[in-house]
């Protein structure tokens, strides 16, 4: 039986009080979360950092999605803060193989994120070294950015190139398009505003999960 798609709540904020609220909310309904980390250089926005996350001691496993210009300089701090995986952007490093190697030497899983304009062909030589690949379906850096459906065409291309790799999709995914995303055969769907900016985040998460799992098996 095919594995059901996962929904990974994505926390993006620059406010420590909002961070604490979203962490405590997420602890009540999921066991894995993505924290979006922004440096104001690779993307225009800033966010909380690893020390803010570590201070809260989240009771779930989590990964750091590094939207930063120098991902290698962040990896050790996130290991110390409790991350299980570091996902960095292909576009952020001139030699991504070096960042992949560093993250692995730290004992962490490693994922590679692709901006919408980056072709799959650019990363095919790297796929065998990765635990996951994350396709950005928005231009990164903000909650609520517009969904770019053409990115979904990359899922089949990636699956053909590396059938076993974990493929995630991130950005602009809501009730109205999540089933379509799930039908592409992705393993994970990261959702931010459609969970945490809703009146009842737990209910929103469960609804999105049901829609995605129905879509992936329908």
Beta bridge partners of 136: 170
> Which position among 36, 39, 52, 131 bears the catalytic label?
36
Under a CB-based contact definition with an 8 Å cutoff, are residues 161 and 135 in contact?
Answer: no
Helix (H) or strand (E) holding 135: strand 132-136
Helices in the chain by DSSP H: which ranges?
A: 16-27, 50-56, 75-81, 96-105, 153-161, 178-183, 193-196, 201-217
Give CA–CA dist 135/66, Å, rounded. Answer: 13
Under a CB-based contact definition with an 8 Å cutoff, are residues 134 and 111 in contact?
Answer: yes
Catalytic residue check, 170? yes
SS3 32: strand
Give CA–CA dist 67/102, Å, rounded. Answer: 17
Of 66, 58, 70, 69, nearest to 85 (Cα)? 66
Give CA–CA dist 18/52, Å, rounded. Answer: 11
> Which position among 39, 52, 131, 170 bears the catalytic label?
170
Catalytic machinery residues: 36, 170
């Amino acid at each position: 039986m095919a594995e059901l798609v996962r929904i990974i709540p994505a926390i993006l904020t620059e406010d420590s009080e909002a961070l604490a609220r979203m962490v405590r909310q997420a602890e009540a309904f999921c066991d894995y979360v993505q924290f979006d980390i922004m440096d104001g250089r690779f993307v225009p926005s800033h966010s909380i950092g690893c020390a803010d996350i570590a201070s809260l001691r989240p009771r779930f496993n989590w990964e750091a999605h590094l939207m930063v210009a120098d991902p290698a300089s962040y990896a050790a701090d996130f290991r110390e803060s409790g991350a299980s995986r570091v996902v960095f952007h292909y576009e952020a490093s001139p030699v991504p193989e070096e960042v992949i190697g560093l993250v692995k030497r730290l004992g962490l899983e490693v994922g590679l994120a692709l901006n919408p304009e980056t072709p799959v062909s650019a990363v095919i030589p790297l796929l065998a070294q990765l635990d996951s690949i994350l396709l950005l379906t928005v231009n990164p850096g903000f909650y609520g950015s517009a969904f770019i459906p053409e990115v979904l065409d990359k899922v089949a291309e990636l699956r053909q190139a590396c059938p076993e790799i974990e493929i995630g999709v991130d950005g602009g995914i809501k009730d109205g398009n999540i089933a379509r995303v799930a039908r592409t055969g992705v393993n994970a769907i990261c959702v931010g505003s459609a969970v945490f900016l809703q009146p009842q985040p737990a209910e929103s998460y469960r609804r999105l999960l049901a829609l995605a799992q129905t879509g992936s098996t329908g």
